Structure 1
C-alpha cells in the first residue's frame, strides 16, 4: 500500500466499533477501530480518524444516523460493522439488515472510499444459550458477503477463524470483544486491506487452557445469565437502549493524537 493511501478513516457501527469491552466509560473506550487507526497511523502519521459508532444501534439506525455524516467527512477508508443488535431482537429480517448494509456499501464506495466489513462468529460457541440464533448469524454472513462482492467491499472473515470463539477474546458479558479480541479484529482488518506489516497471525489459536468441568461450566452460565442476560432482557422489555442519549465519541476527523470530548450519557455498557 503506498504511503498516504489512507489518510481519512471513518468508522460506522454499534458498540463493537465504539469499543465496548476495551476500556470503559470512566477511562475511555479504545476498541478495534481505534486500534486499527493506530496501525494506519504507524504507516502514515498524517492519518485523521473519526468514529461515528454508538452502542445499541440497529443497522437501520446506523444507516440513517451515520451514513450522511460519514459521507460528509469524505473518507478514503471506512469500516461498516453492524448487525449483532438486529440478530438479538425477536423480529429479525436478514434481508432487511443486509439491505441497510448494502446501501452503506454502495454510498461509501460510490464516494470513492475503500470499505471494509466483518463477518460474525458462531454465537452458539460463545454463548450456549444463544444457539437458537446461530442460523441467523450464518444467514446474515452469507448476505453480507454477497452485498460486499457487488460493491467491491473488503470482507475481513473474522467469523471463520476458530480463535474468534475463544472466551479470552470476549469480555465478561460475551457480547463485546475483550481488549485482546479488539486487537485481533484490528489485525484482521489490517490484513484484509494488506496494510504493511500485517499478516494472518490474528487467526492463530491462543495457548491451551484448562477446560472447565460440566458443573463449572453450568455455574458460569448461571452467573452470566444473572449478571448480563437478565438486565439486557429487562432493558428490551422496557424499550430502553444502552445508547439512549449518547452521541458518537469521535464525530470529527482528527489526528489520532487528538482526544475528543466524552460522549454524552453514562448508561452502563450494553449491546
Structure 2
C-alpha cells in the first residue's frame, strides 16, 4: 500500500461490501460473474489484491434492498467476517419509496454505521448522486439533500471515509449511466472504483473515460429514447411495485463468503476454476 494508505499494511485483510444494486454492480454487465455483473466493488477488491496480496473479499449487496433489509440480512454476516475494510451504501431505494420518514431512516442508518464502525475496520460511506432521470422525480431531490447531509455528518462523527458521490462532476455525462438511467454504466463503475481507491490511498491505473462531447439528439431521437426508456424501465418498475416484488427477490449475494482475490486474473479466475455446478448464479 501507499505510505498514506488508510488500510492495514500487515495482518488480516478482509473487505466486505454491503448495500443494494449500487454495490452489487448493476449496470456493469459480465455474464461470467455471479448475478451477471461486476461493479466497482469487485474492481476495488482486485486492485487491493494487486497492491498487497492476501486480501479476502465478500460482497453481500443485492439489488432493490431497503435499509431495513440490509440491516436484517447483511449486518450480522458482515460482523462475523471480522472485516478490516467495509463499504456501505444504503437508503437509496428508501428515498424512492412514497411515505419514507427521512428522520427515522437516518436514525436507522446511523445505528448501522455505529455497528460497523465498532469493528475497528476502515469504513467507507457514500452520498447519493442527483440523477437527472425525469422531472417527475424532482420532488425527491429534497430527500436526497437530507440524506446526503446526514451521511456527511455521520461519516465525520464515526471517522468514516466519505466518497462524496454527489460532487463527482464526471457523472453529469449520461454515458456514465446505464440505459435505465438509475444505475452506473461500466464506465461509471470503473470511475467510481478509482475514486474509492484514491480515498483509501491505494495505487491504481484507472483513468477517467475520455469521450468526445456528446452529440445533441434530434427531437425525434429524443422522443424515441424517451418511449423506449418508459417501455423498458418505467412501466416494469411500476408493475413490480404494484405486485410487491423486486428484482432482488430471487437473488443471493454475489460473494457471500470471503474469497481470496488472486493478484492475476482477478475474480473471474475464481469462477473459472470452479466446477460448473458449484458456480454462483
Structure 1 length-normalised TM:
0.88
Q: Please identify the structure whose Cα radius of gyration is greater.
A: 2
Indicate whether 1:226 and 2:234 are aligned: no
CA gap 1:4/1:182 in 2 versus in 1, 3 angstroms = farther
Question: Which of 155, 168, 175 is the matching residue for 1:168?
Answer: 175
Kindly provide the CA deviation profile for residues 143-183 of structure 1, in whole angstroms up to 9, marking residues without a partner as x: 11111111111110121122113111111111211111111
Report if the CA contact (8 A) 2:194-2:204 is conserved.
Answer: no
Indicate the residue corresponding to 1:239 in structure 2: 244
Does structure 1 residue 105 correspond to structure 2 residue 113?
yes
Moved more, 85-94 or 227-236: 85-94
Structure 2 CA distance for partners of 1:228 and 1:149, relative to 1, 3 Å: same
Structure with the larger RCO, 1 or 2 (CA within 8 Å, 6+ apart):
2
CA contact (8 A) 2:47 2:204 kept: no
**Gap runs ≥5 in structure 2:** 263-269
- TM-superposition CA deviations, 1:181-228 (whole Å, max 9, x none): 1111111111122223479x65x8853121223443233222201110
SS of the residue 1:207 aligns to: coil
Matched, 1:38 2:41: no
Give the corresponding residue for 1:23. Answer: 29
Cα RMSD after superposing both structures: 2.3
2:92 counterpart of 1:84: yes
SS at match of 2:87: strand
The structure-2 alpha-carbon separation of the partners of 1:47 and 1:249, relative to structure 1 and needing over 3 Å to count, comes to same
Secondary structure of the residue aligned to 1:171 is coil
Q: Which runs of 5+ in 1 are unaligned?
A: 265-271
Please give the alpha-carbon distance, in whole angstroms, between the structure 2 residues aligned to 1:122 and 1:96. 21
Matches within 5 A, 1:85-234: 85-123=93-131, 125-197=132-204, 202=208, 206-234=211-239
- Cα 1:191–1:113 change in 2 (3 A) is same
Offset of residue 7 of structure 1:
1.6
Q: Work out the number of aligned pairs and report it.
A: 261
* Cross-structure match for 1:269: none
